[in-house]
Amino acid sequence: MRRLYMRYADIAPAVFFGGGVFWDAMTLRRIDHTVDNLILGAYLVLLGGCIVLAALRMVQRLPAQPLLETIGPFSVSGVQFFMGGLFSAYVVYFTRSASLTASAVFLVILVGVLVANEFIWRDSINLVLMLGLYFLATFCFFTFFLPIVVGSMSYALFVAGGLLSLALVGGLAMLLDRWGAFESTQQLARTFAAMGALLVAMNIAYVQNWIPPVPLSMQAGNVYHNVEVTPDGYKLTYETPPWTRFWRRSSTPFAYAEGDSVYFFAAIFAPTALETGVVHHWQRRSLSDDTPTWQTTDRIPYTVQGGRMRGYRGYTFKSNITPGEWRIDVKTTGGRMLGRVHFEVVAASNADERTFQTRLYE
């Protein structure tokens, strides 16, 4: 086994890295799962402990105690392990909740931090960078944990999470300064400046809707000819696809005949006890003045109540629709993007000859 490892030692880190992310993607359950959140909370505490040990050991101020002397040499590896575990979980959770049209930049940053964590601690320890990333890890955790606990979502709650993270990590920085871990007052000031810059950047990202609306996530969403609520679930009716597109299970493109209504069905996961508003923005593409723009024709709200694993089911519909390119943006009432569905409305060539089939969304 040792000989096999030595043979592939160069690619082993990449294999273990990819395997760790894959393991998280397969094993992490609901974002409100108690055990998973307890594990992530424990990771945050243990990461803070490893940072303290690494910082004190770097300036040779680690107390001369047998236990600390034993685990001290492994503190940097602990920082790498726990930080990697946290950001790997965040990548999984935020990706599940993301609409890539709005959240791509934030997800790229999270992935970048996750990848960089595999390399930046190998040669030297930068305490400012370490505490800055610890602040980001703590802020990301509170971004979804506080809405789960409180049962609602708001910008005020997001700001509270940032300030709580600043208080916790800032308090740790002050303790490290008292214990002599910082080389100078300027280094401590740079640490607080880094956390302040991250706090501002995260708030800008939130206002610009770049941060996915965790803990919400859109599990399903598409266009149908009819949606009916039954005791067994939601019955979704769509035009029978041609045999060349046997996999299609929605009315896309939508073959429209006079009298038809276009139904949009969505299932949105929300944690237990969380209740929030969602709006379906119906938009049609306009080519006026040779410049394609999206014009909102309807904004239809409803309330999502959490608890169902497959998401809270809801639908909206529109009659007297005109042929052309359409899209529906699914957003929170605060304007945060959950998902976007594009579809085309075309005139039905043989309306009387259409056949339909249904599927059940439980």
Q: How many CB atoms lie within 10 A of CB 344?
A: 16
pLDDT at position 64 is 78
Q: Say if residue 224 is in the same domain as residue 195.
A: no
Q: For the chain, give the percent of residues with pLDDT over 90.
A: 62
Separation CA 23–CA 68 (nearest Å): 31
Q: Say if residue 155 is in the same domain as residue 303.
A: no
Separation CA 79–CA 96 (nearest Å): 26
Q: Label residue 18 by pLDDT band (50, 70, 90).
A: low
CATH code (residue 351): 2.60.40.1930
Q: For the chain, give the percent of residues with pLDDT over 70.
A: 91
Q: Is residue 212 part of a domain?
A: no
Q: Say if residue 202 is in the same domain as residue 295.
A: no
Q: Is residue 127 part of a domain?
A: yes
Q: Is residue 14 part of a domain?
A: yes
Last residue of a domain, one of 183, 207, 231: 207
pLDDT in tens, 198-225: 999 999 999 998 999 999 999 999 999 9
Separation CA 318–CA 301 (nearest Å): 13
Q: Say if residue 46 is in the same domain as residue 15.
A: yes
Q: Residue 169 belongs to what domain range?
A: 2-207
Q: Which residue has the tokens 């075309």?
A: 346
Lowest-pLDDT range of 87-101, 205-219, 245-259 = 87-101
Q: Say if residue 158 is in the same domain as residue 275.
A: no
Q: Say if residue 161 is in the same domain as residue 64.
A: yes
- Residue 69 one-letter amino acid: E
Q: Say if residue 40 is in the same domain as residue 166.
A: yes
Q: Say if residue 155 is in the same domain as residue 282.
A: no
- What pairing do the DSSP bridges indicate for beta strands 312-319 and 261-269? antiparallel
Beta partners for 40? none
Please give the mean pLDDT across all residues of the chain. Answer: 88
Separation CA 100–CA 107 (nearest Å): 9
Q: Is residue 184 part of a domain?
A: yes
Is there a contact between 266 and 337 (Cβ–Cβ < 8 Å)? no
Sign (positive or negative) of CA dihedral 249, 254, 257, 262: positive
Last residue of a domain, one of 168, 187, 207: 207
Is there a contact between 121 and 82 (Cβ–Cβ < 8 Å)? no
Q: Is residue 83 part of a domain?
A: yes
Q: Label residue 350 by pLDDT band (50, 70, 90).
A: confident
Last residue of a domain, one of 175, 207, 239: 207
- The answer on pLDDT for 11 being more than 50 is no
Is there a contact between 236 and 360 (Cβ–Cβ < 8 Å)? yes
Residue 264 has which token pair? Answer: 């949009």
Separation CA 93–CA 114 (nearest Å): 14
Burial degree of 251 (CB within 10 A; 0-12, 13-18, 19+): buried
Q: Label residue 246 by pLDDT band (50, 70, 90).
A: confident
State the total domains in the chain.
Answer: 2
Q: How many CB atoms lie within 10 A of CB 242?
A: 8
- The answer on pLDDT for 15 being more than 80 is no
Q: Say if residue 58 is in the same domain as residue 201.
A: yes
Separation CA 119–CA 28 (nearest Å): 25
pTM of the model: 0.87
Q: Say if residue 257 is in the same domain as residue 294.
A: yes
Q: Is residue 248 part of a domain?
A: yes
Q: Say if residue 80 is in the same domain as residue 184.
A: yes
pLDDT in tens, 35-68: 999 999 999 999 999 999 999 988 888 887 888 7
Q: Say if residue 247 is in the same domain as residue 130.
A: no
Lowest-pLDDT range of 35-49, 164-178, 179-193, 289-303 = 289-303
Least Cα distance to 350 among 263, 254, 255 occurs for 255
- The answer on pLDDT for 24 being more than 90 is no
